[in-house]
Homo-oligomer: A and B are copies of this chain.
Amino acid sequence: MEKQEFMKRAGALARENIAKGLGGPFGCVVVKDGKIIAEGSNHVTTSDDPTAHAEIVAIRNACKTLSSFQLDGCEIYTSCEPCPMCLGAIYWARPEKVYYSSTKNDAKNIGFDDQFIYEEMEKDYAERGIPFERLEDEESTKAFHEWTKKNDKIEY
């Protein structure tokens, strides 16, 4: 299969998702060695999971398939430019490349605007729409010390 076919599949998943009433108009596939190893579509509203964006679902499925928490040698084809959450997930999963079809602006035009998250990231914590406040506790500090001392830890 070729790149364009992988993207066509991502878009077809988005369309199927709407037809089946499973969630938003977004689909994603993960490809390795020229084959689709996992698929995902947006299930936020039907699985009561705000993190169930197409990319997150596809990444989680691909990692299960590979029995790995890393997408070494993989490419992600997503029907729309990823939001900041999915972008973060992509960096943690470390695929080789990401292809997207519709743009953030296309998404904004149909009511999906993630620009506000980028804008919130620029703000001081107290001024954010969702305020972030530091509340120090020694348990958290102890956890970091214990992690540092742990000899058999799996780094990621």
Contacts and interface: CB of A to CB of B under 8 A. Distances in A.
- Nearest 9 Cβ contacts at the A-B interface: A11-B139, A85-B88, A14-B143, A101-B140, A25-B147, A11-B140, A79-B140, A84-B88, A25-B143
A11 B143 contact: yes
Copies in the complex: 2
B156 A44 contact: yes
B99 A134 contact: yes
Contacts of A94: 50, 130
Interface in A54-73: 56, 59-60, 63-64, 66-71
Given A12-B139, A45-B156, A102-B143, 14 more contacts: A11-B138, A14-B140, A15-B143, A23-B156, A44-B156, A49-B69, A50-B71, A79-B139, A84-B85, A85-B88, A99-B132, A101-B139, A101-B140, A106-B144
